[in-house]
Chain A
Amino acid sequence: MTRALAEAHSERAGAPHAAGAPLARRRRRIDLLPYALVAPFALFVVLLAIVPAAWTIGLSFFHDAALDPPVRFAGFQNFITAFSSSSILQSSGNTVVYMVVGVVLSTIIGTAAALLLQTSFRGRSVVIAVLILPWALPGIVAGLIWVNVFDANTGLLNSVLTSLHVITDYRVWVGDNRLLTVFLIELVQVWQMVPLSALLILAALQNVPDELYEAARLDGCSGWALIRRISVPLARPGIAIAAVQSVVATLNIFDQPYALNGQADAGASLTMQTYFVSFQNLDFGQGYALALVIAVATVIVSFGVLKLVYRQVEY
């Protein structure tokens, strides 16, 4: 019995079956179990991610418009046509602002929140639970909530600011000034992203051994110096992941500008333009091209952020 178990174990572990077995037989024996277990997931990844990605890359070089068949090779024409549109250029600019503001703010606020949550205080778990709520909301719901805050006729912001005599007349917050519009829309997204950023950074902070803090305190380090010299440097892997998820979210922003500013160019993102081009104009080729641009930009910026922020940490 014991021997049989050992045989089975060695078989599963891929170890040579018996010391005296011929070499050729040992080479032929491949353990299929791990492959079988991974196969369904791998198949899903291939079908739902790799195949569509390859399809998108390929078709972005084809003219594929439902109203103008047939599908035909177009080289870089989809990219040229897309980026000669003033709406798409403006949306590209908006998207860059969304990304810069969103990544910087969510990372800074997320780090600050994580540092606060690292200290133990009464009701900490309740604060963490409440903090997660905005993140749990779908983007469109968050957008609709903030519509009621920014509404120029009946919004909460105008009401509060006039009550406090900060402003005398109700103002138009979203849609009037392009930069302010983009900034306020991004604030809504930051409000949603901060919880995840904070939790990712908090997880990294909790890995930092207490001994390091104790040693630093013995050396006379305290307060801000502890944060600057111990917490933040050692939380860099978490900060990097948080920053990358912010890059992905901001470069693909859709719900918040759509809910807060409709389809106006002043706040539209590149993802929104992809949707309009594909599903309103039915020009799928151009849609594929824009989607590819967003994907490539996401990958490049994510790698850049990783290179800038990530550092391997060993305790």
Chain B
Amino acid sequence: MKLFATAARRRRGVLALGLAAGLVAVASGCSNSAAVSDKTSGVTINVVESAEAPPKAMLDQFTKQTGITVKWTNVDWDSLQTKITAAATAKTYFADVTDVDWSRVGQFAKLGWFYDMSDYVDVDKLKADLPQLNSFTADGKVVGLPGDAMFMVTTVNTKMFAEAGITKMPTTIDEYTQDLKTVKAKGVVQYPLNIPFAAAEGLSTYWYETTGAFGGSVLTDKDEPAFTSPDSAGYKAAEWMIQAVKDGLVSPGEINTTDSQGQQNLMATGKVASTFSDYAGNVGTLYNVKDTSTVTGQVKYIPTPTSGGEPKNLDNPDGMGIPVTAKYPKAAAKFIEWYTSAAVQEKFAGLGSADQLYSTFSLPAHLTAVEALANGDKLDQGATLKQMFQNSTAPIFPGGAPTWYSSLSKAVYTNLHAAAAGSETADQAIKKIASTAKQLASGS
């Protein structure tokens, strides 16, 4: 009888345990909001970026100065964008600081997924020294601060050009195209031009930069397509890119080449002679690094060849922002202010001690920092980069990226990719992109 009673009690215990487990599951599954704290000391913030962590010495220095500990997580860019969307939609905490890509600024501002940085930082004071701040502003909100100064530049393997007898660098698109044909004809390299035709964001960016070189922009001030006419810069740029494949200037294999590793490897291993739309800083961080390059000392930045106008280098920066689901927004703001400051970025880029060097860091976002690096001889072709950064960089969309940018970009890269693969003509590709853009702009 006693045993019977014990069995009954045990049964009730198991039942209670089962229900408790269920309740815990329900509670943990449904709990999605974290308490927001104004604390700016003695807290740990989560920074989730698609980049390696900065040097430990620098993060330790920040912790010592502020009492804020930083837990840095490196997530690949695509996954991170999904995480940002999923967390914001589900109103769930995942980071105190995360990536703000210029292309999503319009979306983020409209949806209110990020805090307005002007509530935490005096952005007016920063404007003069941060030329790319405009790329992070939409609807009057500053969604993030630029974490580096990424902009598009033309790189040329001067040794290959010299082998083809070219010593004067091209300044116009026509000269540039002719020089590439000469490099090919002289047998220096089979496919001299690098265009990452994989169906990915990098192809869209390449087209925007080329459109800029042809003297125009992709969208009008009213966000309508400005590339439908055969006389327009966008149309000519697309035609030029596709023609380069047909003329054998670009390897047919580049339909699977991405703008990141694939494109850069081809340049770093001397398989191509030029990249029309490369990333500023690549000469120093990749092409002149013996471990990653067989062309050290050969690759130079040149002013972007144009169809006659002034050279233009389009901005392509990544920034840092605070998601509205952050636990410690004030502490996060302190970190962003520190990370994006000129003094810290100078050290990242090489003006500090060896343990402060951030080897994968491209270019400081501050003009003064780039100037200091150039003057201190710590930046490959620093004077050229500084001159471009100061005078010719411009946002891809002067009014900020439209909220529907992702859909536009997908139409751009899938259709230009299809044209390069030969399943569409350049004209068909442009018409399809235009049709998507018109539909998006009209809101239907």
Interface residues of A (CB under 8 A from B): 1, 4-5, 7-8, 11-12, 31-33, 35-37, 39-40, 43-44, 47-48, 66-67, 87, 147, 150-153, 170, 172, 174-176, 178, 260-266, 275-276, 279-282, 284
Bound form: Cα–Cα A266–B403 in Å = 27
Q: A36–B85 contact, CB under 8 A?
A: no
Q: A263-B199, A280-B410 are in contact. Are A40 and B22 (CB under 8 A)?
A: yes
In the assembled complex, 29 residue pairs joining A and B whose CB atoms fall closer than 8 Å, in A order, are A4-B4, A11-B8, A31-B11, A36-B18, A39-B19, A39-B22, A40-B25, A43-B22, A44-B25, A67-B107, A147-B256, A151-B253, A152-B253, A152-B254, A152-B255, A153-B257, A153-B266, A172-B253, A175-B198, A175-B421, A176-B252, A176-B422, A261-B256, A264-B198, A264-B421, A279-B82, A279-B85, A281-B404, A282-B111
B47 CB to nearest A CB, Å = 22
What are the residues of chain A within 8 A of B3 when measuring CB–CB? Answer: 1, 4-5, 8
Q: In chain B between 193 and 209, which residues have their CB closer than 8 angstroms to a CB of chain A?
A: 198-200
CB–CB B26/A43 < 8 A: yes
* Set of chain A residues within 8 Å of B8, measured between Cβ atoms: 11
CA distance A194 to B199 in the complex (A): 29
Among the stretches B48-56, B335-343, B344-352, B412-420, the one at the interface with A is: B412-420
User: Which residues in window 165-212 of B have CB below 8 A to A?
Assistant: 198-200
Question: 4 tightest CB-CB pairs across the interface, nearest first?
Answer: A152-B253, A264-B199, A36-B18, A36-B15
Cα of A47 to Cα of B2 in the assembled complex, Å: 39
Given contacts A47-B29, A280-B406, contact A178 B18 (CB under 8 A): no
Most chain A CB within 10 A, of B8, B404, B423, is at: B423
B7 adjacent to A32 (CB under 8 Å): no
Q: A33-B14, A151-B256, A152-B252 provided; 5 other pairs, C-beta below 8 A?
A: A153-B251, A175-B421, A262-B199, A264-B414, A265-B418
Known A-B contacts A4-B3, A12-B7, A263-B199; the reply to A36 vs B14 at CB < 8 A is yes
Among residues of A, the one whose C-beta sits closest to the C-beta of B255 is A175
B residues less than 8 Å from A279 (CB atoms): 81-82, 85-86
A264 and B201 alpha carbons, distance in the complex (Å):
11
Which residues of B lie under 8 Å from residue A12 when comparing CB positions?
7
Q: Is the CB–CB distance between A32 and B15 below 8 Å?
A: yes
Encode contact with A along B20-41: 1 for CB under 8 Å, 0 otherwise: 0110011001000000000000
Residue ID in chain A nearest B86 by CB atoms = A279
Bound together, the chains give a CA A66 to CA B403 distance in angstroms of 11
| A262 partner, pick from B1, B2, B200, B423, beta carbons under 8 A | B200
Q: A153-B266, A280-B407, A284-B89 are in contact. Are A261 and B199 (CB under 8 A)?
A: yes
Min CB distance A291 to B, Å, is: 14
CB contact between B2 and one of A4, A87, A150, A174 (< 8 Å): that residue:
A4
Query: Which A residues lie within 8 Å of B406 (CB)?
Result: 280-282
**Are A8 and B21 in contact, CB atoms less than 8 angstroms apart?**
no
Q: CA of A275 to CA of B85 in the docked complex: distance in angstroms?
A: 12
Contact assessment for B251 and A178 in the assembled complex, using a CB-CB cutoff below 8 Å: no
A172 and B29 within 8 A (CB): no
- Alpha-carbon gap, A281 to B82, bound state (A): 11
Q: How far does the Cβ of A303 sit from chain B's closest Cβ, in whole Å?
A: 31
Number of interface residues of B (CB under 8 A): 50
Residue in contact with B256 in the complex, picked from A35, A174, A178, A275, CB distance below 8 Å: A174
Q: What residue of chain B has the Cβ atom nearest to residue A181's Cβ? A: B421
Residue of A nearest to B420 (CB): A175
- Interface of A (DSSP majority class): helix
Q: Which of B4, B11, B17, B410 contacts A276 (CB 8 A)?
A: B410
Give Cα A5 to B11, complex, Å: 15
- Complex Cα distance, B428 from A245, in Å, reads 40
Which secondary structure dominates chain B's binding surface? helix
Seen from chain B, the residues whose Cβ lies within 8 Å of a Cβ on chain A are: 1-4, 7-8, 11, 14-15, 17-19, 21-22, 25-26, 29, 81-82, 85-86, 89, 107, 110-111, 198-200, 251-258, 266, 271, 403-404, 406-407, 410, 413-414, 417-418, 421-423
CA distance A262 to B423 in the complex (A): 16
Contact B25 A152 (CB under 8 A): no
Is B18 a contact of A37 with CB atoms below 8 Å? yes
Chain A residues closer than 8 Å to B11, beta-carbon distance: 31-33, 36
- Supposing A12-B7, A263-B414 touch, asked if A175 and B21 sit within 8 A by C-beta, the answer is no
Residues on B with C-beta less than 8 A from A281 are 404, 406-407
Q: How far is the CB of B274 from chain A (nearest CB, A)?
A: 16
Q: A47 touching B14 by the CB < 8 A rule?
A: no
Bound: A36/B20 CA distance, A: 10
A48 to B25 Cα, complex, angstroms: 10
Distance in angstroms between the alpha carbons of A39 and B23 in the assembled complex = 11
| Complex Cα–Cα for A255 and B7 (A) | 51
Is B25 in contact with A176, judged by CB distance below 8 angstroms? no
- How far is A155 from B70 in the complex, measured between Cα atoms in Å? 41
Contact call A266/B271, Cβ cutoff below 8 A: no
Give Cα A281 to B410, complex, Å: 10
- B252/A172 in contact, CB under 8 A: yes
Contact residues in A for B252 (Cβ distance below 8 Å): 152, 172, 176
B contact residues around A178 at 8 Å (CB)? 423
CA distance A294 to B200 in the complex (A): 25
Q: With A47-B26, A172-B253 given, is the CB distance from A11 to B421 under 8 Å?
A: no
> With A and B bound together, what is the CA distance between A8 and B86 in angstroms?
51
- Give chain B residues whose Cβ lies under 8 Å from the Cβ of A147: 256
Look across to chain A and name the residue whose beta carbon is closest to the beta carbon of B191. A153
A32–B406 Cα gap in the complex (Å)? Answer: 53
For the complex, give the distance between the alpha carbons of A176 and B423 in Å.
8
- Complex: how many Å from CA A8 to CA B414? 69
Note all chain B residues with C-beta closer than 8 A to A66.
89, 111
Q: How far is the CA of A32 from the CA of B16 in the complex (A)?
A: 11
List residues of chain A with CB within 8 A of the CB of B258: 262
Complex CA–CA separation, A279 to B1 (angstroms): 62
| Bound-complex Cα distance A8 to B251 (A) | 79
Contact (Cβ within 8 A) A263 B410: yes
Residues in B with CB closer than 8 Å to A39 are 18-19, 21-22
Closest to A280 in B: B406
Q: List the B side residues contacting A280 at CB < 8 Å.
A: 406-407, 410
Chain A: CB-nearest residue to B197: A175
Give every chain A residue within 8 A of B25 (Cβ-Cβ): 40, 43-44, 47
Verify B414–A265 contact, CB threshold 8 A.
Answer: yes
Give the residues in chain A near B15, CB-CB below 8 Å. 32-33, 35-36
Looking at the assembled complex, report how far the CB atom of A84 sits from the nearest CB atom of chain B, in whole angstroms: 12
Cα separation A276 to B81 with both chains bound (whole Å): 12
